[in-house]
Amino acid sequence: MELTITRPDDWHLHLRDGDLLKAVIPHSSNHFGRGIVMPNLKPPVTTTAAAVAYRESILKALPAGSDFTPLMTLYLTDTTSPNEIKLARKSGAIFGVKLYPAGATTNSQDGVTDLFGKCLPVLEEMIEQNMPLLVHGEVTDPSVDVFDREKVFIDTVLQPLIERLPLLKVVMEHITTADAVRFVESCKEGFVAATVTPQHLLLNRNSLFQGGLQPHNYCLPVLKREIHRQAIVSAVTSGSRRFFLGTDSAPHEKRNKECSCGCAGIFNAPVALSLYAKVFEEAGALDKLEAFTSFNGPDFYGLPRNTSKIKLRKTPWKVPDSYSFSFGEIVPMSAGQTLEWKPSFA
């Protein structure tokens, strides 16, 4: 069996920098046409100048002949100026501004503490410039249970935000709950959408503890109950245009995952398309796969759809236990497992 689909894009991707960038980028550029590149480097990418320089280093790191296009983002802080949004739009290189609530996840310590105060003029300028806000949707209050942080964020931040700024385009990134599905479906189509990762479609929170602690299944927002996973699968396989592919592929070296305080992040770029195809096939919705992988994202961002195609063949292939690089190893999602769908250029 074989499927030919329009080349997908990845609307949520961590490419890192330096050696790690060079090591991981082929796994995205092999399959995807474009990627929304997250700005949570050290230091974070807070200015247009830094984003443009980061874009150059990504282009240099691409394998020869690759036509992958990085779509850059800015990291929002309490001190980002409205003028920076004008510069970002003018550069033609920047396609979104990422909101990390301070302390929510990897390298978010410089994130936002005062969205409705200090950041309001920036959000208003983003409406002017038609620049989407990409949201890590979790509260950081340590008294809120880690499994409730997305729902509390929706109730206390996102819902008030869209009521106050109904013309702001918002992508709720890597949704993990039935609450997020309901929220996105309740908003005006074309203004609020969500990305969905392979792990939140395939795994529930039991996978964190299966036979012992499983650090390679740890990401943020953390995996949730099975009912939430099922709600997300139903949403994406329904054919709704509000949901699109965003892997949140977030590589960390094996030694930084398998240690006393392991990093959050799942490296899924090598397996993402195989896993999305598995989810849609199991739901009897392979006919809806292409819109999710290749149409809904560019349509929301107002960008053209890709014109080239890729093939997905139903042929078993074994995921490596790890990928070795000069500096160390990275363990991918589904390491050592046999997957059924194999992507290649058409």
Q: What part of residues 155-214 is at the interface with ligand DOR (CB under 6 A)?
A: none
Distance CA 38, CA 33 (A): 16
Q: Is residue 219 involved in binding ligand DOR (CB under 6 A)? A: yes
Spatial separation of the C-alpha atoms in residues 17 and 40, rounded to whole Å: 10
Shortest distance in whole angstroms from residue 221 CB to ligand DOR: 7
Strand order in the sheet with 2-6: 2-6, 309-318, 338-345
CB closer to Zn ion out of 3 and 184 = 184
The rounded radius of gyration (Å) of the Cα atoms in the chain is: 19
Active site residue 12: yes
Candidate list 33, 96, 265, 297; residue touching ligand DOR; CB under 6 A:
265
Beta strands 243-245 and 338-345 are unpaired
Residue 9: which of ligand DOR, Zn ion, none does it interact with, CB under 5 to 8 A by kind?
none
Task: Give the contact letters, 25-44, x = binds to ligand DOR (CB under 6 A), - = no.
Answer: ---------------x----
Whether 27 is catalytic is: no
- Among 22, 27, 31, 98, the active-site one is 98
Residue located via tokens 């329009």: 6
Of these residues, 22, 27, 31, 136, which one is catalytic?
136
Three-state DSSP class for residue 325: strand
Angle between helices 178-186 and 226-237 (to 10 degrees): 30
Please, what is the minimum distance in Å from the beta carbon of residue 106 to ligand DOR?
Answer: 4
Given the rule CB under 5 A, which of 24-32, 151-159, 242-250, 252-260 is the region that contacts Zn ion? 242-250
Binding partner of residue 176 among Zn ion, ligand DOR, none, CB cut-off 5 to 8 Å per kind: none
Residues at the interface with Zn ion (CB under 5 A) = 248
- Catalogue the active-site residues: 12, 14, 98, 136, 174, 248
